[in-house]
A and B are shown apart, each in its own frame.
Chain A
């Protein structure tokens, strides 16, 4: 695509772009908050809830080990959920705006 001047303000105020912005913002903040809270639960649990972390649940495997392993699973799940949502929804919405970008505000 050759670089040409666009009417950025017109694209910004286009309802479709506003819709993309709204959807993306709430989705990203939600995931970010979830991952941050879940991550900091590990050092907090390890420091202040040691009795809970020490409970053996699967042979010698205790809650602490399982919780630490779950951090990996949660991180991967968040990455997967985001990529699905971005591939299936955000990219499609963005493409519609890109296709019409030259017409907007012209």
Chain B
């Protein structure tokens, strides 16, 4: 009876999710209306495949170990692909290609940290965690520390990190799907949410794993095809290809735009070459290092990544899976160099930025171009395929995050703390499924509530909290004999609160006064600015906090500029006198751009009218970096160390020998299910 009920619920969820993805046909997006059926067809195929996987996985998902860890029967290679599928979010897939297409070298440099992060995972985290852990990060920490206390804190931290990341994914995904195919934001959030819930609730970790593998294979295949098409005309020669990129007119125009007055004395060759040189996007090296620290140490503290190591049968398989993940993730980021620069050369940065200022449409537009352009069947099929891969990407990442949060809620809090580890298999699986539903419903609600909010900082924040709270706790528990419960709890709390607090007073937040000032400048124009000499920094503290002058480059004098309405009027006057059709079209386009700027500025003036301070009550940022890791990570480590040294914990010391022997040998590690 229950089986029939389960299958019915499964079918209903499938139908709901599929139909909600198909309803809104109306709005516009990158895909032209006449080709939308193709996108939906590809979407349908992908949804059908993942649903078939879930149906198959649901039949063997009964026990706790099956639900949380796929019965520990995932092979190293499979897990490597699944890690890649779990990790390569839409932000890294579309975002980094976009950054490269707009800013060249800096975009590519940005991608490096995401791979280097896995060295920490490989060397110090993956194998010990597999040997010690069961289902969650809480299990690892509770091994030698007070189980109830640490499980509560570990679960809180897991849910915090996952919620930040999840919100960024839901909001980013909703916007992305709207930009790509014009499905309403709310509908895509609900569609993504329901699909992901179907995978997690019915198929648990097994379905999630195979959805992630499918997505990673699709992503790599799509990227390889595009890179082959972009690079083959140059005989796969790197210098010849990049020569073509830097000689391209669109790329040179973009450099002129980015460099402003500085471009005046540069030759076209120098301008093009600038695309391959640093400093166009990432201007603050201290912030870069801070972000790098959060990436390199945060990835190893991400609950949804840690959880993947419980799915393999042994520490050796965990090792193999990181090696594969590094090959796939690294290979993919190398491909983004070609995707981004190819989009810059063939589509043009101006066109990419017009669709989405962050450059997210670079990959999809490149696909459309390579297939034959906006009016061709093949071009739109390519675009549809890339859009569907983006969709699969969002769903796969979100499923992994929901599973991680649900396991913290059900396994750590409900079973571990409330039931004192006494719960039957059946009860545990029910708790896991109910928690997944709760987290899923929460994700959909938060996703809809956060519509139009600035969520870009949430990904950086998730990594910073993971690096400042989870990593110090896990690392010191595994490798430091004196580490104990008090140390872990204070380190995790202080580390995460510092990271969150610093972000709240950082430039990531919206400062109404600055927004209003900028909007006013757009509407009314700006007076002439006199040249300013460079400011010498008052030291490292001045680069971090707004207490003394921070280093500023020299500013060249700028003449007074007109407001957008005045510019528009001038353009309209000019339009009346021009007769050449091409010239006319160009001016009309410029007028449209001014209109867009006016609408945006008016919207902001209205939205922030009367407000002067940010959420934290500040007029301007007090902490000057976008990434808090530089301060919060050392603080997290320091707190674990200091509070461990200040207190004595008999159990933590007694368990050390067992923990250290077991993490290095795998004796008594959780075994794989035998079917």
A24, A47, A62, A86 interface centre (most CB from chain B within 10 Å) = A47
Q: Which of B276, B292, B671 is within 8 Å of A1, CB to CB?
A: B671
Interface residue SS majority, chain B: helix
How far is B276's CA from A58's CA once the two chains are assembled, in angstroms? 13
- Please indicate the chain B residues that have their CB under 8 angstroms from the CB of A61 in the complex: 238-239, 242, 276
Interchain CB contact under 8 A, B323 and A35:
no
Expressed in whole angstroms, the minimum distance between the Cβ of B114 and any Cβ of chain A is: 11
Q: A87 to B621, alpha carbons, bound, how many Å?
A: 50
Q: Please give the distance in Å from B661's CB to the nearest CB on chain A.
A: 5
Q: Out of B242, B289, B323, B667, name the residue touching A79 (CB < 8 Å).
A: B323
Given A39-B116, A59-B239, does the pair A68, B667 have CB atoms closer than 8 Å?
A: no
State whether A76 touches B327 (Cβ < 8 A).
yes
Chain B residues near A79: list those with CB within 8 A.
118-119, 122, 322-323, 326
Minimum CB distance partner of A43 in chain B: B288
B285 within 8 A of A: yes
Nearest A residue to B286 via CB reads A47
Please tell me if the beta carbons of A97 and B665 are within 8 angstroms of each other in the complex.
yes
When A32-B124, A39-B296, A72-B115 are in contact, do A83 and B278 touch as well, CB less than 8 Å? no
Docked CA distance A75–B296 (Å): 12
B119 & A31 in contact (Cβ 8 Å cutoff): yes
| Contact between chains at B334 and A69 (CB < 8 Å) | yes
Q: Closest CB of chain A to B200's CB: distance in Å?
A: 30
A39 to B124 Cα, complex, angstroms: 17
Measured CB to CB, the nearest residue on chain B to A6 is B667
Chain A min CB distance to B170 (Å):
30
A88 at interface by CB-CB < 8 Å: no
1/0 per position for B638-675, CB-CB distance to A under 8 A? 00000000000000000001101110111110010000
Indicate whether A43 sits within 8 Å of B292 (C-beta atoms), given known contacts A53-B278, A75-B116.
yes
Q: Which A residues touch B278, using CB under 8 A?
A: 46-47, 50, 53, 64
Q: Which of A32, A40, A75, A98 contacts B665 (CB 8 A)?
A: A98
**Would B119 and A78 count as touching, CB distance under 8 A?**
yes
Min CB distance A2 to B, Å, is 9
Q: Is A44 an interface residue (CB 8 A)?
A: yes
Contact of B276 among A40, A43, A65, A98 (CB under 8 A): A65
Q: In whole angstroms, what is the CA distance A15 to B238 when docked?
A: 53
Cross-chain contact A35 with B116 (CB below 8 angstroms): yes
Contact A53 B239 (CB under 8 A): no
Q: Is B113 an interface residue (CB 8 A)?
A: yes
Q: Given A6-B667, A76-B327, A79-B323, A39–B113 Cβ distance below 8 Å?
A: yes
On chain B, the number of residues with a Cβ less than 8 Å from chain A's Cβ atoms is 53
| A36 on interface, CB distance cutoff 8 Å | yes
CA distance A97 to B326 in the complex (A): 30
B273-A60 in contact (CB<8A): yes
Query: B residues within 8 A CB of A39?
Result: 112-113, 116, 292, 296
Task: Assess whether B123 is interfacial by the CB under 8 Å rule.
Answer: yes
Interface check B308, CB cutoff 8 A? no
Query: Complex formed: what's the CA distance from A24 to B128 in Å?
Result: 12
Contact partners of A11 in chain B: CB under 8 A = 657, 661, 665
- CB under 8 Å from chain B, chain A span 81-105: 82-83, 86-87, 91, 94, 97-98, 101
Given contacts A43-B285, A46-B285, A68-B109, contact A59 B665 (CB under 8 A): no
A58 pairs with B238, CB closer than 8 A = yes
| B238 pairs with A94, CB closer than 8 A | no
| Cβ–Cβ contact A98 & B667, under 8 A | yes
B105 touches A8 (CB 8 A): no
When distances are taken between beta carbons in the complex, the residues of chain A under 8 Å from B330 are: 72, 75-76
Contact with B along A23-50 (1 / 0, CB 8 A): 0100010011001100110111011101
Contacts of A62 in B (CB 8 A): 273, 276-277
- Indicate whether B120 reaches chain A with its CB closer than 8 angstroms: yes
Which residues of A sit under 8 angstroms from B327, Cβ to Cβ?
76
**Which residues of A have CB within 8 Å of B127?**
86
- Tell me whether B242 and A31 are in contact (CB under 8 A): no
Question: Residue B225 at the A interface, CB < 8 A?
Answer: no
Q: Are A12 and B242 in contact (CB under 8 A)?
A: no
Interface assignment of B539: CB less than 8 Å from any CB of chain A: no
Partner of A64, one of B115, B276, B288: B276
For B324, the closest partner residue in chain A by CB is A79
A78-B610 Cα distance, complex, nearest whole Å: 55
Q: With contacts A32-B123, A58-B238, A79-B323 known, is A94 near B116, CB below 8 A?
A: no
Q: Please, could you name 14 A-B residue pairs with CB atoms under 8 Å apart, sorted by A?
A: A1-B671, A3-B668, A21-B664, A36-B296, A39-B296, A40-B292, A43-B109, A43-B289, A46-B106, A54-B277, A60-B273, A64-B105, A64-B276, A94-B664
Shortest 9 CB-CB contacts between residues of A and residues of B: A59-B239, A47-B285, A46-B278, A43-B288, A8-B658, A8-B657, A12-B657, A39-B116, A35-B119
